[in-house]
Structure 1
Amino acid sequence: MPKVLFALTSHDRLGDTGRRTGFYVPEIAHPAEVFTAAGWDVGVVSVKGGEAPRDGVKEGDTVSAAFLAAYADELKNTPSADQLDPADYDVIYFVGGHGTMWDFPGATDLAALASAIYSRGGVVAAVCHGPAGLLSADLDDGSPIVQGKQVAAFTNEEEAAVGLDDVVPFALETALIEKGAKITKVENFAAHAVADGRLVTGQNPASATRVAELAILQATPA
C-alpha cells in the first residue's frame, strides 16, 4: 500500500497578536480523504513531535471533523522527522497554516526527510504556507529543491489581504523566489495547483485537494 506523510507545524502562536495558530486542518483533512479513497495509507509527522497545534476548524466542515476523530491519537502523538525512515513513504505533503512560517524554514530534519524521499523517486508536495518547508530542502547536488521549478504558494497579495503581512516573519512568495522558484499564481484565494515533475504545490486552502490528486498522479508509475 503506498503511503503519504503529512508534515505539520509545531508552532502555535501567531507572532505577537496573542492569537493561536497551528496547522490548517482542512489542508490535511481534505487531501487525506483523497489519498485514502485512492487506497493510500496516511501518516503524520511534526517539527517537534507530540501533539500538533491546529487551526482553521470550521463549523459544518464534516470532512475535517471526521478526520480529526479518525486520527485523534496520531495527531496527539506525532513523531518527529528523525524517527522516520524515508523509504517508508511515497509522498510527503507539507500542510499549511500560519504556524509553518515560524518553524518550517529551520526544520532541517524535516527538510532532510523530504529531500531523501524525493531523491529515491518520491513526490514532495506542499500547499498554502506549507512551501515554507521547502526552503531548507535541497537536492543531492546541494541545489534548492525549488530552484528552476514552477511553484505555487500563499502569495504576498493573499497575505496582505488577510492582514498578516506585517505579522509573519517573512514573505513566503519572496523567499521562494530568492531560492530560484518560478512562482505561478492566480487571483487571491482561487484554487491553483501545479506539478513540476515530482514537486507538487498549491496556492491556498482551496488548492489542497488538487495538490493531493496531482501528487497521486506523479507518484503512480506510468
Structure 2
Amino acid sequence: MKATSLKAFFITLIFILSFGGLSIYISKRSKSNAEKKNVAEKLQMVKKVRDQIDSVTLDTKTEDYTMEQIIKLLDDYEKHQKIGKKLKNTDIKEFELKLDLIFPKSYITFLEHFGNGGSVYNNKILSIEKPIFLSKYLKTTDRKIEDEDGFKINTNSILCLTSEDSKDGIWCWLTEDESNKNGEWPIAYFNNKEKKLYYGVDNFNQWLDLLLTHKSEISTVISNDSTSVE
C-alpha cells in the first residue's frame, strides 16, 4: 500500500512538473510570437512611410527632411509611448483656423505622417487638439515674459510644444517671431523655476534632430550654467 502511494505521488509530481514546464514554454512562445508580430508591424510602418516619400510630391526640402526624420523615429518606435493618431490635412486646417495660425510645414508633415502628440524619447509632445499657450499654462495675469536677452514676449503668442519636463521646463513655439522667413517657428525653452524664456533652436527640424541625436529628454542636454542648448 505504501509502495503504491509513493508511486502515485511520484507520478503526480512528474505530471505537475511537466505541466508547469509546458506552461512556461507556451508562455515564452506566445511572448516571442508577440514580439515578432510587433517587429513586423513596425517594419511595415517604416516601409509605408518610405513608400510615401517616393510617391508623394513634396513642396519643399523642409518637408522632405522631416519625412527622413520620421523614418528614423519609426526605427525606434518601441521607445515612444502613446503616440496620437495621424491627422488629415483637413483636420490640421481646422485647428489652424481655430487658433488663427498657420503651422510650419515641418510640423504639418509630422502630424500627417507620424502622429499628433505623445512621448517621443520621453519628451511629452502636446496634442494640437488641446493647444496650450504659455499664458494659460502659467495661470498668471502677467501677459509678457522675458527672454534671456531681456526682451519681453507676449505669452499669448507662445504655444507650448511639450508639457513640463523633469527639470520644470517647457519647449514652446514662438509663433510671432519673424526671424525665420520660411514659415518655420523658432522653439524656445521656458524655465518654469526662473520664469524666463531661453533660446532653443531655429525650427522644428532642429528640435527633432536633438531628439534623434540624444534619444532622451532634451532637458538633459541643456547646460546647467546657461540654460541654453548645447
By the TM > 0.5 criterion, same fold? no
User: Could you tell me the TM-score, scaled by structure 1's length?
Assistant: 0.30
* RCO higher in structure (CA 8 A, sep ≥6): 1
User: Could you tell me the TM-score, scaled by structure 2's length?
Assistant: 0.29
Based on CA coordinates, which of the two structures has the bigger radius of gyration? 2
